[in-house]
Amino acid sequence: MIYEGYAGYSDIFADGFTGVLLGLEGIADAAVILHGPTGCRAHHSSMSEYGFPRDVVHDRLNYADRFYFGQPRIPTTYLDGDDYVFGASEKLRQAIRAAEAGSPGLLAVVNAPGAALIGEDLRQCMAYSAIDIPGVVIEMPALSRPMAEGYQQAVLAVLETIQPQRSPVRPKTVSLIGISIAHSHWAGSLSELRRLLALCGIEVLCVPGAGSRLADWYSLSRTACHAVIHAEYAGRIADWLTKRFDAPVMFPQSGAPIGFEATEQWVVAVAEAVGADPAPALSAIREQRRDVSRHMSRISGVGRALKGMTCSIQADPSIALPLSRFVYEYLGMLPVSVATPDCANTGLAKRLKDFLTDIGCMDIWQEPWQTAGADFLFSDGHQVNQRLAFGCFEGGIELVLPLGRRVDFVRKPLLGAMGAAYLVETIVNGVPDYF
């Protein structure tokens, strides 16, 4: 599902319906049922399977059962014309029983946009099925809203269902909130952030919506701080947590930890919030920065090749702000279009516009990348694929919703110090004929 990002701009962003499904699919032991027609399901199932592979699928025939259609994720009730007229509660109850057979830790039912027209009582169907695990129902996903809003809707629905109780706080522990399996290389990024925090003596207890099992969610009441990664994915969740527990929420003022400087600022902010020493992590970040510099110096002419090259950035403000700074200040690349969806007011969009004004580029704000003619495009998988259709076979870097054109056997981060190194590596290898 897509939505138009803002008035007068023809480009598209993934919407809240996708955010809901991938937010729930990011729970390691959850089963998610889509109550709707098959057309709303196949691409979401593929995105979930690629973004967070949990099943070893040796044979697609293992998932030829009713509701699964050869894919292991997001079974659907495949509504047809008769269902819209006469209702499909029995079909939904059968789907619930089929999904429960896999022994998930949580079962969620999400209405597709058209299914909401039937007026099915999803909660009654869940109760009638008498499942003995937590059950989540989302009757009206955040349609035609940014993906981040749908993600938060899903996480909040789970929190409201399980209601973690107040517990004694464990010193120097954090939860990481505001990251989804929709973010490219999310698993590698979390490994990198855990590594940096561990150098400071800080333990990560839970990452809701991005790989943690449901049992880990109960530790949200014990963490000493909730550290935000992408602010657009965390605002309402942070409000819910602060109303119930004593731990503070750390919102990064520079956006997500993308690039060396933003990573240092993020680590310092988290360490200060829990009373830890950030020095060991800062030392590791600076060593990684020196290592990148050594590689750059060995490649004849690459630094000169990058300086003055242009880029377009289409992403949430929490990504667009630190990424714009990183490519401009560290690599000498010039943004020629920067576009963001209509996200919740986190203050990051204003800081991004202030930065663009400072470098004399405010006129590129919300400019379509299709007309900018940039050397590099940082965007979602759909837009990068569209760039390929335009005949640009280099210079497309996926930030969210990767399409799976490549297989990574080794986890790669986009965040943190190693993420900055990987980003530079990807950009350098995307420069044509730099030798």
**Same domain, yes or no, for 266 and 333?**
no
The distance from CA 35 to its chain's CA centroid, rounded to whole angstroms, is 23
* Nearest-angstrom CA–CA distance, 340 and 200: 33
Question: At which residue do the structure tokens 């110090």 appear?
Answer: 417
* Nearest-angstrom CA–CA distance, 414 and 423: 7
The 10s digit of each residue's pLDDT in 205-235 is 999 999 999 999 999 999 999 999 999 999 9
Last residue of a domain, one of 220, 253, 283: 283
What pLDDT sits at residue 149?
Answer: 95
The reply to whether 40 falls in a domain is yes
CATH number of the structural domain spanning residue 392:
3.40.50.1980
The reply to whether 293 falls in a domain is no
* Nearest-angstrom CA–CA distance, 65 and 225: 44
Closest to 338 (Cα-Cα) out of 278, 265, 399: 399
* Nearest-angstrom CA–CA distance, 185 and 374: 24
**Same domain, yes or no, for 320 and 364?**
yes
Closest to 185 (Cα-Cα) out of 401, 417, 435: 401
Which two tokens mark 337? Answer: 């279009």
**Same domain, yes or no, for 97 and 196?**
no
Q: What is the pLDDT along the chain (435 residues), one digit of tens a residue?
A: 444 443 334 456 788 999 999 999 999 999 999 998 887 888 888 898 888 987 766 555 556 677 877 777 899 998 888 877 777 888 999 999 989 988 999 999 999 988 877 878 888 888 877 788 999 999 999 888 899 999 999 999 999 999 999 999 999 999 999 999 999 999 999 999 999 999 999 999 999 999 999 999 999 999 999 999 999 999 999 999 999 999 999 999 999 999 999 999 999 999 999 999 999 999 999 999 999 999 988 886 666 678 889 999 999 999 999 999 999 999 999 999 999 987 656 799 999 999 999 999 999 999 999 889 899 999 999 899 888 877 776 788 999 999 867 778 889 999 999 999 999 999 998 886 654
* Nearest-angstrom CA–CA distance, 186 and 265: 20
What pLDDT sits at residue 431?
Answer: 82
**Same domain, yes or no, for 268 and 393?**
no
Q: Residue 197 — φ and ψ, nearest 5°?
A: -70, -35
Question: At which residue do the structure tokens 């289409």 appear?
Answer: 314
**Same domain, yes or no, for 216 and 98?**
no
* Nearest-angstrom CA–CA distance, 375 and 310: 5
The reply to whether 155 falls in a domain is no
**Same domain, yes or no, for 199 and 127?**
no
Question: What does DSSP assign to residue 330?
Answer: I
Ranges assigned E (strand) in 21-104: 30-35
What pLDDT sits at residue 14?
Answer: 82
**Same domain, yes or no, for 90 and 210?**
no
**Same domain, yes or no, for 11 and 136?**
yes
The reply to whether 165 falls in a domain is no
Closest to 110 (Cα-Cα) out of 75, 145, 86, 81: 75
Which two tokens mark 349? Answer: 């969009």
The reply to whether 290 falls in a domain is no
**Same domain, yes or no, for 222 and 311?**
no
The 10s digit of each residue's pLDDT in 252-289 is 999 999 999 999 999 999 999 999 999 999 999 999 99
* Nearest-angstrom CA–CA distance, 64 and 75: 11
* Nearest-angstrom CA–CA distance, 112 and 41: 9
Contact criterion met (CB below 8 Å) for 206 and 216: yes
Q: DSSP assignment of 117-164, as one string?
A: GTT--HHHHHHHHT-SS-EEEESS--TTSBHHHHHHHHHHHHHHHH-P
Which two tokens mark 193? Answer: 């952030």
The reply to whether 159 falls in a domain is no
The distance from CA 109 to its chain's CA centroid, rounded to whole angstroms, is 21
**Same domain, yes or no, for 115 and 210?**
no
Q: How many residues does the chain have?
A: 435
What pLDDT sits at residue 343?
Answer: 63
**Same domain, yes or no, for 17 and 122?**
yes
* Nearest-angstrom CA–CA distance, 320 and 428: 20
**Same domain, yes or no, for 232 and 353?**
no
Could you tell me the CA-to-CA distances from 251 to 229, 263, 268, 339, 393 in Å, in that order?
Answer: 8, 13, 12, 22, 37
Q: Print the domain residue range for 237.
A: 173-283
Structural domain count, the chain: 3
The reply to whether 435 falls in a domain is no
* Nearest-angstrom CA–CA distance, 26 and 20: 10
* Nearest-angstrom CA–CA distance, 165 and 340: 37
What pLDDT sits at residue 435?
Answer: 45
Dihedral sign computed on CA atoms, order 399, 402, 408, 410: positive
The reply to whether 167 falls in a domain is no
What pLDDT sits at residue 305?
Answer: 77
Closest to 330 (Cα-Cα) out of 280, 271, 263, 240: 263
Helix axes 147-162, 16-25, angle to 10 degrees: 40
Q: DSSP assignment of 352-373, as one string?
A: HHHHHHHTT-GGGBT--GGGT-
